[in-house]
Amino acid sequence: MVEVVEHDVLVIGSGLAGLRTALEIKRSPGGDRVDVAIVSKVQLMRSHSVAAEGGTAAVLYPEEGDSVALHAWDTVKGSDFLADQDAVWTMVKLAPEEIRLLERWGMPWSRRPDGRIAQRPFGGHSFPRACYAADKTGFFEMQTLYGRLQAFDGWTRYDEVYVTSIIVEDGWFRGATALDLRSGELLVFRARAGVIATGGAGRIYKFTTYSHSSTGDGLAMALREGIPLKDMEFIQFHPTGLVPSGILITEGARGEGGYLVNAKGERFMKRYAPERMELAPRDVVSRAIMTEIMEGRGLRDEFTGLDYVLLDLRHLGEERISERLPAVREIAIKHAGVDPVEEPIPVRPVAHYTMGGIHTDSYYRVLTAEGRWVRGLWAAGEAASASIHGANRLGSNSTIECLVSGRLVGRQVLRFLEKHPEALRGPSRERVEREEKCVYDELLKRESGESVYEVRERLQETMDRYVYVFRDRSGLEEAVRRIKRLRGAMKNVYPHDKSRVYNTDLVAVLETANMLDVALAVAVSALARTESRGAHYRVDYPRRDDENWLKHTLAVMNANGEIELGYTPVRITTWKPVERRY
Ligand SMILES: Cc1cc2nc3c(=O)[nH]c(=O)nc-3n(C[C@H](O)[C@H](O)[C@H](O)COP(=O)(O)OP(=O)(O)OC[C@H]3O[C@@H](n4cnc5c(N)ncnc54)[C@H](O)[C@@H]3O)c2cc1C
């Protein structure tokens, strides 16, 4: 059975970006007349955003020497000059107000002794500007936004509803189809405006900090609608993933003064970033760790075979660790059997952030490859590529992008609805029937074949091995070959479970197909980019090449499901590229 529901706005994703978008709509003049749906494939508050630990960047105290221009410059330099500078300026200018708005809505920011909001240093920022709530910043931000949203009527939450496709027809957003996981029925959303806030795609890797739900569905759905993904080769590897699980040890640990040491007990960062040391940007620190390991100065985990270095917090003392980094201590004790008060923590670079994403302009309007706006459609947060982070994101700049993009999108959605009061058209019947057939006739009825969990695992191993911190042509070619083979294997996977209610097997099939599409875009984009910039490091092309590569990659899926590449210029408004040193 197909159930059809109608809303003015469909927000897909209930992380920081989705909630902030909905809240901006509801709290703005006229917002009370707008009917908003918020859809999430997991419980609303289980979105990956709750896992953000370290902080949210904004300039709060210019009188102490910080400035929005400095925040913009740090971000552009951090991006290895691939960021679109107009978008960066907008974000840094709006950031301080977002922090104060959250404050007003009840956010329990950590404080200075005088009661003002405290800030800690973060990699690549020349001023301590990461606002934090201990090391549970994202969790409290989500609580605060959700709490504030409760003050308004006129919005509906669809928890545990898995969107299977976003529908664009004749250049306009029409709605989406989704699987209601509780009933197993197909839901059709008809809406005037849509916002893709589905987060990143880090689960295409095995060793990753991301929640299991971060499978890049929104990115794959966009690809299938012919919408380009921008700069997908730039995946961030956070330097300190806990060995063996990959759980994040926040950069806040180094912000509070933690050191990285190799097997010989040396503080090796002095060789790679003598000025910034452990607080150099993430791409620099991750490469330094991998170089130490590859040159034989790492340690090895006996059970997993994973090589690692050590993060030493002991000199901070028990009181400071427990007050500022309680989650780090808890995670290290529970998941590695190491109390950081007494022993250093085993860490290695871990897949952590998707710099690329859905191609948008600097106002987060979703664009076609020809640069035309898909009318009525926006992307916000990590799913979008505006592009603020370019080739490398600075820590604490993502949660702030989620907040600012949500606000920008919310405002535009309201104006768009005022301008287009015409009747809602919704997706065509053919599209909906095709979607229904695909899920219920093609997938659910298959009786035998390969295990989807094996396909997923093989994809993750491929990405960990060939599309990691250091890359080269032959490895990337191998990755592309393997991903294509796995995509072929998807034609034979089948869900064991045939029931309709909470069919997690079926979801695994849908997600894995999405992960493969996204992974292919990553590998194909990385193979083409014959230079090293930010997080994309090619051993065979170790230099940045501005002459040929100061441009954004656009990956588009053609009718045969293959990825084709195009390029678009970087918007440079203030700073010409210079050599990047730390
Ligand atoms: C462990 C960790 C720590 C981090 N720490 C920091 C930090 O300290 N500071 C910082 O700035 N950044 C940090 N980041 C990055 C930052 O947290 C994320 O980029 C940001 O929270 C992403 O928010 P989002 O709203 O874009 O998406 P998410 O929070 O990832 O939410 C995605 C939403 O989309 C929904 N969704 C996805 N697919 C579907 C589908 N098919 N159907 C329906 N719903 C769907 C999900 O259910 C979810 O609600 C961290 C990231 C991680 C992984």
- As a whole number of angstroms, the distance between CA 528 and CA 525 comes to 5
Atom of ligand 1 nearest to the CA of 380: 26
Dist. CA 48 → ligand 1 center (Å) = 4
The pLDDT of 359-378, averaged and rounded, is 97
Are the C-beta atoms of residues 81 and 550 closer than 8 Å to each other?
yes
Q: For position 286, what pLDDT does the model report? A: 97
Residue 447: pLDDT above 90?
A: no
- The residue to which tokens 């063996």 are assigned: 244
Per-residue burial over 273-295, b if 16 or more Cβ lie within 10 Å, else e, is beebbbbbbbbbbbbbbbbbbee
List of long-range contacts for 69-73, beta carbons under 8 Å, 24+ apart = 70/126, 70/127, 71/95, 71/125, 71/127, 71/129, 72/574, 73/575
Ligand 1: which of 40, 41, 48, 131 to mutate, judged by most atoms within 8 Å of the beta carbon? 48
pLDDT, one tens digit per residue, over 205-237 is 999 999 999 999 999 999 999 999 999 999 999
pLDDT, one tens digit per residue, over 19-45 is 999 999 999 999 999 999 999 999 999
Task: Kindly name the residue from 192, 282, 287, 529 that is annotated as catalytic.
Answer: 282
The confidence band for 449, taking pLDDT boundaries of 50, 70 and 90, is confident
Q: Is the CB of 236 under 6 A from ligand 1?
A: no
Coarse DSSP helix, strand, coil percentages of the chain, rounded to the nearest 5 percent: 40, 20, 40
Q: Is the CB of 377 under 6 A from ligand 1?
A: no
Q: For position 445, what pLDDT does the model report? A: 84
Q: Is the CB of 381 under 6 A from ligand 1?
A: yes
Dist. CA 199 → ligand 1 center (Å) = 5
Residue 6: burial class (beta carbons within 10 Å; 0-12, 13-18, 19+): middle
- The residue to which tokens 């820590």 are assigned: 395
Give the residue from 517, 521, 554, 550 showing the smallest Cα distance to 534: 550
Atom of ligand 1 nearest to the CA of 400: 11
Atom of ligand 1 nearest to the CA of 54: 8
Q: For position 440, what pLDDT does the model report? A: 84
Do the domains at 238-350 and 438-544 have one common CATH topology?
Answer: no
Say which residues have a Cβ less than 8 Å from residue 544's Cβ, sequence separation at least 6: 80, 531, 532, 533, 580
- As a whole number of angstroms, the distance between CA 27 and CA 498 comes to 43
pLDDT, one tens digit per residue, over 496-514 is 898 889 999 999 999 999 9
- As a whole number of angstroms, the distance between CA 244 and CA 207 comes to 9
Are the C-beta atoms of residues 403 and 547 closer than 8 Å to each other?
no
pLDDT, one tens digit per residue, over 537-559 is 999 999 999 999 999 999 999 99
Residue 1: pLDDT above 80?
A: no
Domain 238-350 has CATH 3.90.700.10: yes
Q: For position 448, what pLDDT does the model report? A: 82
Q: Is the CB of 189 under 6 A from ligand 1?
A: no
Neighbouring CB atoms inside 10 A of 496's CB total: 12
Q: State the DSSP H helix or E strand holding residue 181, giving kind and residue range, or none if neither.
A: none
Q: For position 495, what pLDDT does the model report? A: 87
pLDDT, one tens digit per residue, over 386-443 is 999 999 999 999 999 999 999 999 999 999 999 998 889 999 999 999 999 988 888 8
Give the whole-number percent of the chain exceeding pLDDT 70. Answer: 100
Q: For position 394, what pLDDT does the model report? A: 95
Q: For position 494, what pLDDT does the model report? A: 86
Dist. CA 548 → ligand 1 center (Å) = 33
Give the whole-number percent of the chain exceeding pLDDT 90. Answer: 93
Domains of the chain, residue spans? 238-350, 438-544
Task: Name the architecture of domain 438-544.
Answer: Up-down Bundle (1.20)
Full DSSP string of 387-454 = SSSTTSPPTTHHHHHHHHHHHHHHHHHHHHHHH--SPP----HHHHHHHHIIIIIIITT--S-B-HHH
Atom 13, ligand 1: residue with shortest CA distance: 52
Written as six digits, the tokens of 422 are 């015409």
Q: For position 441, what pLDDT does the model report? A: 82
The confidence band for 581, taking pLDDT boundaries of 50, 70 and 90, is confident
Q: How does the average pLDDT of the chain come out, rounded?
A: 96
Q: Is the CB of 240 under 6 A from ligand 1?
A: no
Q: Is the CB of 399 under 6 A from ligand 1?
A: yes
Dist. CA 358 → ligand 1 center (Å) = 15
Q: For position 423, what pLDDT does the model report? A: 80
Ligand 1: which of 49, 282, 354 to mutate, judged by most atoms within 8 Å of the beta carbon? 49
Residue 136: pLDDT above 80?
A: yes
Q: For position 444, what pLDDT does the model report? A: 84
Residue 457: pLDDT above 90?
A: yes
Chain mean position to CA 262: 30
Q: Is the CB of 214 under 6 A from ligand 1?
A: yes
Q: For position 204, what pLDDT does the model report? A: 98
Amino acid in the structure at residue 561: G
Atom 5, ligand 1: residue with shortest CA distance: 52
Q: Is the CB of 162 under 6 A from ligand 1?
A: yes
Dist. CA 400 → ligand 1 center (Å) = 12
**Torsion (CA) 456, 458, 459, 460 in degrees, nearest 10:** 90
pLDDT, one tens digit per residue, over 289-328 is 999 999 999 999 999 999 999 999 999 999 999 999 999 9
Q: Is the CB of 52 under 6 A from ligand 1?
A: yes
* 473 catalytic residue (yes or no): no
Q: pTM here?
A: 0.97
Residue 242: pLDDT above 90?
A: yes
Question: Secondary structure of 282-302 in the HEC alphabet?
Answer: HHHHHHHHHHHHHCCCCEECC
